[in-house]
Amino acid sequence: MSSKYDALVSRANTVLCQSYGRYPLAIEKAVGCRMYDLDGREYVDLLAGIAVINLGHSNPELLAVMREQAEQLIHVSNLFYQPRQVELAEKLLATTTLLDRAFFCNSGAEANEAAIKLARRYMRCVRYKDAGEIITLEGSFHGRTLATLTATGQGGRIKEGFEPLPEGFRTAPFGDAEALRAMVSQKTAAVMIEMVQGEGGVLPLPQDYATAVQEICREAGCLLIVDEIQTGLCRTGKFWAHQHYGLSPDIVTVAKGLANGLPMGAMMAKEYVAKAFVPGTHATTFGGGGVLAAVASKVVDIMVRDDLAGRAAKVGAQAVEAIRKLQDKHPGKIKIIRGLGLMIGIELTFDGGEVHKALRDRGFVCNLAHGRVLRLLPPLVIPVEDLLAFAAALDDILTKA
């Protein structure tokens, strides 16, 4: 590492909370699908800020909107009607015919908090039913606030030391419809699922199980919440991942790439559920402010205009095809390849730390989940050649592993 890097790390370790296991990289600049460290070394970005920079870094169309809106209006709070916010809601809801109302916030965790609060208030104040329990799935990840952390279906260090955790959450076994059916009761307000568990290692829900979850919710009279924080906005080859499964959720949450790097989240709900929120019941100071809403609105425009869902499906399939060839070429080294569109998980049969490091040394930045799953979440505009180059690098690394 360079002296610039060492000096920055020393400063960071002095002033920042040590709550991140950071990669040994210091990124100073990023353009398109490339990132550059303090010494100007180039890296192919296969992580996109964890599925955030869907349209590439420093996208010129978004920068133009950002500048224009910043000169006109940045923030006034949600005590006022704001044209850009209304336009964004109209465009976002138009991507699905299932949902009617939107609530804007600052992050995925806040979007999921809003969904949990809405589900509970709907049951108690619209249905007049004493039902507040939220059921989520084993392996899920829904955020790091106390409520969304409790909803997350993972144990270990992610929850250690934060007790007592809020009541009213239960975790169901992944993929077991009968177990879920046995857990749902008159106390259940909602079942919350991810169509593809990202932090869980890129695990798509089986179709029959997803269908069964919706049927169980309908039979029990509880709500179906789909967490699309990571899977939404064209990532999986459809605008929304639940569209692959033919589901009709009552509430959908989204964040990550909504404003392509600016802090933005949204919760969308059907009309009959959304009416549980009335003035004073839920709010946020910054959610859906002028610049954020204008940029997010342009993001939706570009995704629709350029059919980035279709592109993700096509380019993702090409990448998976190249990686599957490696599975055949290196028997016993790649256990399975999972995912949808440009959300790809490559599970190795051994600890992937050295492979992850070797890829980084060759200029490819991806994520390593659970110690052995190489997780690819590249910008949706990434050239297929970059993904094929990644496959070639992985081929060489596995040959030497």
Phi/psi for 49 (5° steps) reads: 65, 30
| pLDDT tens track for 268-325 | 999 999 999 999 999 999 999 999 999 999 999 999 999 999 999 999 999 999 999 9
pLDDT at res. 82: 97
Instruction: For residue 38, name the pLDDT band (cuts at 50, 70, 90).
Output: very high
pLDDT at res. 200: 85
Mean pLDDT of 136-164: 96
pLDDT at res. 156: 84
Closest CA to 330 of 311, 314, 345, 349: 349
Q: What angle do CA 189, 206, 344 make, to 5 degrees?
A: 110
pLDDT at res. 346: 98
pLDDT at res. 361: 97
Q: What percent of the chain is predicted at pLDDT more than 70? A: 100
| Spans of all domains in the chain | 3-58+307-400, 73-305
Two structure tokens written together for 390: 């990644």
Instruction: For residue 155, name the pLDDT band (cuts at 50, 70, 90).
Output: confident
Tell me whether the CATH fold assigned to 3-58+307-400 matches the one assigned to 73-305.
no
Mean pLDDT of 25-46: 98
pLDDT at 14 over 90: yes
- Tokens 């020393």 locate to 10
Mean of all residue pLDDT scores within the chain:
97
Instruction: For residue 401, name the pLDDT band (cuts at 50, 70, 90).
Output: confident
| pLDDT tens track for 209-224 | 999 999 999 999 999 9
363 CB contacts (<8 Å, ≥6 apart)? Answer: 41, 42, 43, 44
pLDDT at 335 over 80: yes
pLDDT at res. 381: 98
Cα separation, 34 vs 43, whole angstroms: 6
Q: What angle do CA 311, 233, 250 make, to 5 degrees?
A: 135
pLDDT at res. 347: 98
If you classify domain 3-58+307-400 with CATH, what class do you get?
alpha beta
Q: Are strands 133-137 and 169-172 parallel, antiparallel or unpaired?
A: parallel
CATH of 73-305, one of 3.90.1200.10, 3.50.50.60, 3.40.640.10, 3.90.1170.10: 3.40.640.10
On whether the CB atoms of residues 102 and 93 are closer than 8 A, the answer is yes
| pLDDT tens track for 119-135 | 999 999 999 999 999 99
pLDDT at 1 over 80: no
Instruction: For residue 259, name the pLDDT band (cuts at 50, 70, 90).
Output: very high
Lowest mean pLDDT among 1-5, 87-91, 120-124, 366-370: 1-5
* SS3 of the chain: helix, strand, coil, percent, to 5: 40, 20, 40
